[in-house]
Amino acid sequence: MFAKHVFNTFRAKWLTLVLLGVIILLSGFIYTTMSASLRALQMGADDYFTTYMQEDASIELAPNIDISAIPCVPDGVRTLPELYLVDKACHTWILDAQLTLLESAFDQATFEIRLYKNTRVDVHGTQHAWRILKNSTTLNLTHVEAGRIPEDADEVAIGKLYAENNGLALGDQIILAGMPRTIVGFVLFPDYNLPIIEHPFLYDSVYQTLALLHDDAFDILPFAAEYNIAVAFASPAAEKAFLEAFAELDIASFATVILTENNIRSGAIYGELAGGQAMGLFMSVMIALIGLLIVGLVMGKTLNKERQSLGVLKALGYEKKEVARPYLLGLAVFSLGFLGIGFLIGQWTAPRLRDFYLTFYLLPQAAVTLDPLDIFIAILVPFTVIMGLSAVILERLLKEEAVGLLQPKLQTVKPLKFKRLAKWLDRFSVRLRFQFKHLLRQPAKVGAYVLGIFLALYAVFLGFSMLDVFSKTLTDYYDTLDVTHIGYCEPLQPCFAEGQDRVLELPVMTQGERAMLIGLDPDNRLHPLRDRRGRSLLGDLDAGFVITRSFQDLTRVKVGDTLTLDIMGQTVTGDVVAVADLYPGATLFTSRSILNGALGLDAATFNVVHSDVPLDDADFAQVITVASIMTQAGLMNRIMQSMMTVIIVSAFGIGLTVVFLLSVLSVEDQFYAISLLKVIGYENREVQTMMLGAYAKLNAVVFVFSLPLTLLSLVVLQRVFIDMYSFVIPLSLELWHIGVTALMFAVIFVLGSQHAKRKINTVALQEALKIYQV
Amino acid sequence: MAIILAKVTKIYRSGEVETYALRDVDLTLENGTFNVVLGPSGSGKSTLLNMMSGLDTLTSGTLTIDDAQISAMNHKELTRFRRHNLGFVFQQYNLLQTLTVRENVQIGAQIATDPLEPEEILKRVGLENHLHKYPFQLSGGEQQRVSIARALVKQPKILFCDEPTGALDEATAKDVLAILQALNETMQTTILLITHNPSIAELGDHIIRMNSGEIVDVLTQKNKRRAADIHWT
Contact B213, B47 (CB under 8 A): yes
Q: Give yes or no for residue A265 having a pLDDT over 70.
A: no
Q: Mutation test of the interface with chain A: which of B107, B138, B147, B162, choosing the one with the most A Cβ atoms within 10 A?
A: B107
Specify which of A9-13, A159-163, A306-310, A537-541 reaches the highest per-range mean pLDDT: A537-541
**Which residues 114-133 of chain B have a CB within 8 Å of chain A?**
133
Contact assignment for B98 to A766 by CB distance below 8 Å: no
Out of A441, A682, A684, closest to residue B111 by CB: A682
Strands (E), A662-722: none
Q: Give yes or no for residue A772 having a pLDDT over 60.
A: no
Residue A86 or A398, more confident: A86
Contact A28, A346 (CB under 8 A): yes
**Which residues 674-713 of chain A have a CB within 8 Å of chain B?**
676-684, 686
Residue A719: is it exposed, middle or buried by C-beta count within 10 angstroms (0-12/13-18/19+)?
exposed
Strands A562-567 and A570-580: antiparallel
**Which residues 419-438 of chain A have a CB within 8 Å of chain B?**
429-431, 433-434, 437-438
What pLDDT digit, counting tens, does each position of A704-723 carry? Answer: 999 999 999 988 988 887 88
Which of A690, A705, A667, A694 is closest to A749 using CA atoms? A694
Label residue A90 by pLDDT band (50, 70, 90): very high
Residue A26: strand, helix, or coil: helix
> What distance in Å separates residue A774's CA from the closest CA in chain B?
7
Residue A47 backbone zone (phi > 0: left; psi -120 to 50: alpha; other: beta):
alpha
Q: Please give the average per-residue pLDDT across B188-214, as a whole number.
A: 90
Out of A431, A441, A681, closest to residue B79 by CB: A681
Q: Please give the average per-residue pLDDT across A612-619, as a whole number.
A: 85
Write down how long chain A is: 774
Cα–Cα separations (whole angstroms), residue B41 to A467, A638, A771, B107, B201 = 69, 73, 16, 32, 16
DSSP for A335-365, please give it. HHHHHHHHHHHHHHHHHHHHHHHHHHH----
Out of A434, A678, A769, closest to residue B99 by CB: A434
> What distance in Å separates residue A681's CA from the closest CA in chain B?
4
Label residue A773 by pLDDT band (50, 70, 90): very low
pLDDT at A433: 86
Residues 6+ away with beta carbon under 8 Å from A325: none
Contact B70, B64 (CB under 8 A): yes
Residue A156 or A330, more confident: A156
Residues of A whose CB is below 8 A from B92? 771, 773
Instruction: Write down the ipTM of this complex.
Output: 0.84
Contact A642, A359 (CB under 8 A): no
pLDDT at A126: 81
Residue B4: beta bridge partners?
B28, B64
Contact A515, A551 (CB under 8 A): yes
Q: Please give the average per-residue pLDDT across B219-232, as a whole number.
A: 83
pLDDT at A408: 62
pLDDT at A279: 65
Q: How many CB atoms neighbour CB A372 within 10 A?
A: 8
* Nearest residue in chain B measured CA to CA from A678: B79
Lowest mean pLDDT among A126-135, A537-546, A627-636: A627-636
Residue A218: strand, helix, or coil: helix
* Nearest residue in chain B measured CA to CA from A426: B103
Residue A394: is it exposed, middle or buried by C-beta count within 10 angstroms (0-12/13-18/19+)?
buried
Residue A39 or A192, more confident: A39
Residues 6+ away with beta carbon under 8 Å from A671: A763, A767, A774
Q: Give yes or no for residue A193 having a pLDDT over 80.
A: no
What pLDDT digit, counting tens, does each position of A519-535 carry? Answer: 999 999 999 999 999 99
Residue A551 or A440, more confident: A551
pLDDT at A180: 93
Contact assignment for B97 to A683 by CB distance below 8 Å: no
Average pLDDT, chain A: 83
Contact assignment for B96 to A415 by CB distance below 8 Å: no
Label residue A415 by pLDDT band (50, 70, 90): low
Q: Please give the average per-residue pLDDT across A27-48, as a whole number.
A: 83
Q: Give yes or no for residue A309 having a pLDDT over 80.
A: no
Residue A762 to residue A683: CA distance in whole angstroms: 12
> What distance in Å separates residue B79's CA from the closest CA in chain A?
5
Label residue A205 by pLDDT band (50, 70, 90): confident
Contact assignment for B97 to A411 by CB distance below 8 Å: yes
> What distance in Å separates residue A416's CA from the closest CA in chain B?
9
Q: Give yes or no for residue A361 having a pLDDT over 80.
A: no
Residue A340 to residue A468: CA distance in whole angstroms: 37
Contact assignment for A771 to B92 by CB distance below 8 Å: yes
**Which residues 635-674 of chain A have a CB within 8 Å of chain B?**
672-673
What pLDDT digit, counting tens, does each position of A540-563 carry? Answer: 999 999 999 989 988 889 999 999
Residue B157 to residue B179: CA distance in whole angstroms: 16
Residue A770 to residue B152: CA distance in whole angstroms: 22
B116: DSSP letter: P
Amino acid in the structure at residue A422: A
pLDDT at A127: 79
Q: Give yes or no for residue A303 having a pLDDT over 50.
A: yes
Residue A643 or A267, more confident: A643
Label residue A702 by pLDDT band (50, 70, 90): very high
> What distance in Å separates residue A295's CA from the closest CA in chain B?
24
Q: Please give the average per-residue pLDDT across A126-133, as a whole number.
A: 86
Asked whether the CA dihedral A350, A353, A355, A360 is positive or negative, the reply is negative
Contact A114, A101 (CB under 8 A): no
Label residue A617 by pLDDT band (50, 70, 90): confident
pLDDT at A774: 34
pTM of the model: 0.74
- Could you tell me how far CA A758 lies from the centroid of its own chain? 41
Q: Give yes or no for residue A200 having a pLDDT over 70.
A: no
Residue B153 or A324, more confident: B153
What would you measure as the largest C-alpha separation in chain B, in angstroms? 54
> What distance in Å separates residue B182's CA from the closest CA in chain A?
22
What pLDDT digit, counting tens, does each position of A441-485 carry? Answer: 788 888 888 988 998 899 899 888 888 777 777 778 888 899 999
Label residue A60 by pLDDT band (50, 70, 90): confident
Strands (E), B39-174: 60-65, 68-69, 86-90, 158-162
Residues of A whose CB is below 8 A from B134? 413-415
Q: Please give the average per-residue pLDDT across A289-310, as a whole number.
A: 77
Out of A413, A429, A677, closest to residue B134 by CB: A413
Label residue B64 by pLDDT band (50, 70, 90): very high
pLDDT at A175: 92
Contact assignment for B111 to A412 by CB distance below 8 Å: no
Lowest mean pLDDT among A385-389, A477-481, A491-495: A491-495
Q: Give yes or no for residue A494 having a pLDDT over 70.
A: yes
pLDDT at A750: 92
Residues 6+ away with beta carbon under 8 Å from A744: A460, A652, A655
Interchain CB contact of A445 with B (< 8 Å): no
Residue A508 or A610, more confident: A610
